[in-house]
Amino acid sequence: MSTIEETSPPTRPRGAEEWSLRAPFRAAHVVIFAVVAGLLAWSAERQGLDNAAWETLRAVTFNEVEGGGLGRASSRLASGFWPLQLAEVSELREDPNKLIDDMPWLARIESRERTRMRVDPDTLETVSVVEIENVMVEPFGYAWRIGARMLETLEMGVQATLLGIVLSVPLAVLGARGYAPGWGVRHAARALVAFLRAVPELVSALFLVLAYGFGPTAGILALGLHCTGFLGKFFAEEIEHADKAPQEALAAHGAGRLKVLRFAVWPQVMPHYLGYVCYVLDRNVRMATVVGLVGAGGIGQELKGRYDLFQFGHVSTILLAIFIVVLALDQVSAWVRTRAS
Amino acid sequence: MSGGVRVDLQDVSVIYKGGVVALQGVSLAVEPGEFVALLGPSGSGKSTLLRTINGLVPYTNGEVSVGGVRVGPRTWKVVRAEVAMVFQTAALVPRATVLDNVLAGALRGLDPWRAALGWWPLAWRQEACALLAEVGLREDHLYRKALSLSGGEQQRVGIARAFMAKPKVLLADEPVASLDPTTSRDVLALIRRLAADRKCAVLCSLHQMDLARAYADRVVALRAATVRWCGVMENFDEGVQAKIFDHEHN
């Protein structure tokens, strides 16, 4: 345009070696950094992180088992967590010879010596008595049981994700600019979604357990409602950010709002939705173990029970099972994403 | 298909939010079956003019009518049944297949339950195939994603989509602005041929004079939101061209 020539100064532009360069950082940056670092240090001190760091350092470097609480606790935990418990051991009340024909697969019967402390009724002193007892050992009995509970947990995760999708898609459409029927509806939908996201699943599980009783139903509802809050927000934002040109083109050919949504927006947002759904599924399976702690079904209930009995070998089996499932889900979601894009 | 549809603009003005005047007192008519080129520099209001005809841009003053129906919020459905549109960047749904993109031109008439399932009637799909063949695409394009096509191929799909709507008027908004010269000629020739076969009027914005000269029956030239020149191609000479595009004549 000719206007550029009129407004630019008549002097010759400077050579590249004379161009003025900005400093990579200025005094203000240093000040801001110092202030933020100071605030963080103050907050860490308030939270007791300095003590924790010191305890950790002592426990690791001097191996002071007798020292602080952390050293004691961690060494006890570490020894308790190993070996993994895969077997199920149950006491036999009846004569083992009768059972021999219909034993569970791979099970065997062992005789074990067991030392019991007893109060002698005559002397009123505690004495240790050695008894022989018969136990049935199923070598993979516990692993099998964990598998069954893990499957229940996975089912909880899948059902909760499904519930989240079903609830969040309409909420996302109502909350998306351009597709919401009005200002009021859009803000109401957004507020509802934000509310669902704001209530932690553990808290809603506590209440839902009161309403639906112990078991997976309460867990599924708690997880489903929370992930509705998550998916509703991201689904709505994807709808708003979808390329407008195809939407306009379909509208120009007489397609109504819902048809535009179905044929111009849906194909664009679908791969992103799959990504979010994969993440939410992964999260729901992990959180399904957590809501189990308050009695909402799944492997968490088992975990809590074993933890309370100090059976850390069982706990580590459960943790390993969760880890394996999360790892497997990761592979599945990676595969889904490459297929979708 | 008795007769075509006449597009009429009477003293139309469009003022966008913030006071930008995109069109001012524009009057023009497109007769059934004719090919009108809309010329003018960038920002002269070509896109806005096209968009007032199918209601994508509401006009502030004057009157636009298509086949005697006044264009307005209540009549968009009726008007858009007669008017199809081709866009500069084709505006295809990038991740949808070529077939689905063509079929989208006929979305207006699809039952809601079929739309929900994405289940197009077989006859429509066959019609889309015939159109795709007519615009020069092959069977192996059918189920490819629109984003995997070249610019020229995308525009051909866009044209097939527009004609899938069985229009009586075709609006083309810079359909060849992002294509190379050879492809531009092919695409314009295609639009002209398909429109002539169907007795469909075309209002096509362009910025290349030579293309307008080669394909249009009539020229409407816009500059600074108003019509500066209007006439048959033969009278569109150097003097007129300078008047529209040259800064000195402003």
Q: Where are the domains of chain A?
A: 27-80, 88-139, 142-340
Check residue A74 and give its pLDDT.
67
Check residue A4 and give its pLDDT.
45
Class assignment of domain A142-340?
mainly alpha
pLDDT single digits (tens) A1-20: 444 444 555 677 888 888 88
Measured in residues, chain B has a length of 250
Asked if residue A149 has pLDDT above 60, the reply is: yes
HEC-encoded secondary structure of A91-114? ECCCCHHHHHHHCCCCCEEEEEEE
Between CA B185 and CA B182 the distance in angstroms is 5
Average pLDDT over residues A103-118: 78
Check residue A62 and give its pLDDT.
65
Q: Among A256, A253, A245, which Cα is nearest to B79's?
A: A253
Binary contact (A254, B165; C-beta < 8 A): yes
Q: Please count the structural domains in chain B.
A: 1
Provide the shortest C-alpha distance from residue A228 to chain B (in Å): 22
- Calculate the alpha carbon distances from B226 to B13, B23, B71, B220, B243 in Å: 9, 6, 20, 10, 13
pLDDT band at A249 (very low <50, low <70, confident <90, very high): very high
Q: Would B83 be classed as within a structural domain?
A: yes
Binary contact (B93, A268; C-beta < 8 A): yes
Check residue A116 and give its pLDDT.
80
DSSP annotation of A126 reads E
Phi and psi, residue A134, nearest 5°? -95, 130
Q: Which residues of A touch B161 (CB under 8 A)?
A: 249, 253
CATH code, B171: 3.40.50.300
Q: Would B1 be classed as within a structural domain?
A: no
pLDDT band at A34 (very low <50, low <70, confident <90, very high): very high
Q: Smallest Cβ distance to A262: which of B80, B89, B116?
A: B116
Provide the shortest C-alpha distance from residue B158 to chain A (in Å): 9
Q: Smallest Cβ distance to A259: which of B76, B107, B158?
A: B107
Binary contact (A250, B107; C-beta < 8 A): yes
Binary contact (A245, B105; C-beta < 8 A): no
Provide the shortest C-alpha distance from residue B81 to chain A (in Å): 6
Binary contact (A252, B108; C-beta < 8 A): no
For chain A, the average pLDDT equals: 85
Q: What sign does the CA torsion over A317, A323, A329, A331 have?
A: negative
Which of B86, B95, B114 has the most A C-beta neighbours within 10 Å, making it the best mutation to test the interface with A? B95
pLDDT band at A162 (very low <50, low <70, confident <90, very high): very high
A175-184, A222-231, B239-248 — which is least confidently predicted?
Answer: B239-248
Residues pairing with B172 in the sheet: B86, B204
Check residue A338 and give its pLDDT.
84
User: How large is the ipTM?
Assistant: 0.90
Binary contact (B108, A268; C-beta < 8 A): no
B78 CB within 8 Å of a chain A CB: no
pLDDT band at A63 (very low <50, low <70, confident <90, very high): low
Q: Smallest Cβ distance to A249: which of B87, B100, B118?
A: B87
Check residue B249 and give its pLDDT.
44
Asked if residue A89 has pLDDT above 50, the reply is: yes
Q: Would B157 be classed as within a structural domain?
A: yes
Binary contact (A252, B54; C-beta < 8 A): yes
Asked if residue A264 has pLDDT above 90, the reply is: yes
Binary contact (A253, B107; C-beta < 8 A): yes
Binary contact (A267, B96; C-beta < 8 A): yes
Check residue A1 and give its pLDDT.
42
pLDDT band at A128 (very low <50, low <70, confident <90, very high): confident
Q: Which residues of B touch A248 (CB under 8 A)?
A: 56, 87, 91
Provide the shortest C-alpha distance from residue A176 to chain B (in Å): 19
Check residue B247 and give its pLDDT.
52
Which of A253, A259, A269 has the most B C-beta neighbours within 10 Å, making it the best mutation to test the interface with B? A253
Residue B81, domain extent: 7-249
Q: Put residue A244 in one of left, alpha, beta given phi > 0 → left and psi -120 to 50 → alpha.
A: alpha
Would you give the distance in Å from CA A262 to the centre of its chain? 32
For chain B, the average pLDDT equals: 87
Q: Which two tokens stand for residue A314?
A: 């069982």
Binary contact (A254, B95; C-beta < 8 A): no
Asked if residue B49 has pLDDT above 70, the reply is: yes
Q: Which residues of A touch B177 (CB under 8 A)?
A: none
- Calculate the alpha carbon distances from A271 to A179, A197, A320, B95, B234 in Å: 20, 23, 31, 9, 52
Q: Which residues of A touch B95 (CB under 8 A)?
A: 267-268, 270-271
Provide the shortest C-alpha distance from residue A296 to chain B (in Å): 36
Coil, strand, or helix at residue A178?
Answer: coil
Binary contact (A249, B116; C-beta < 8 A): no
B92 CB within 8 Å of a chain A CB: yes
Cβ–Cβ < 8 Å for A174, A180: yes
Binary contact (B107, A270; C-beta < 8 A): no
pLDDT band at A190 (very low <50, low <70, confident <90, very high): very high
Cβ–Cβ < 8 Å for A268, A262: no
Locate the chain B residue with the closest alpha carbon to A257.
B108
Q: Number of CB pairs < 8 Å for A and B?
A: 77
Beta-carbon count within 10 A of B123 CB: 8
Higher pLDDT, B242 or A222: A222
Q: Would B46 be classed as within a structural domain?
A: yes
Percent of chain A with pLDDT over 90: 37
pLDDT single digits (tens) B179-216: 888 889 999 999 999 998 988 999 999 888 888 888 88
Locate the chain A residue with the closest alpha carbon to B158.
A249
Average pLDDT over residues B51-76: 88
A109-123, B64-78, B166-180 — which is least confidently predicted?
Answer: A109-123
Q: Which residues of A touch B169 (CB under 8 A)?
A: none
Check residue A96 and give its pLDDT.
66
B115-119, B152-156, B239-243 — which is least confidently predicted?
Answer: B239-243
Residue B68: Cβ-neighbour burial (10 angstroms; 0-12, 13-18, 19+): exposed
Residue B129: Cβ-neighbour burial (10 angstroms; 0-12, 13-18, 19+): middle
Provide the shortest C-alpha distance from residue A326 to chain B (in Å): 30
Provide the shortest C-alpha distance from residue B167 to chain A (in Å): 9
Higher pLDDT, A200 or A134: A200
Q: Which residues of A touch B92 (CB under 8 A)?
A: 246, 249
Asked if residue B4 has pLDDT above 90, the reply is: no
Q: Which residues of A touch B163 (CB under 8 A)?
A: none
A48-62, A163-177, A207-221, B176-190 — which is least confidently predicted?
Answer: A48-62
Binary contact (B115, A258; C-beta < 8 A): yes
Terminal CA-CA length for chain A: 42
Binary contact (B85, A254; C-beta < 8 A): no
Check residue B3 and give its pLDDT.
65
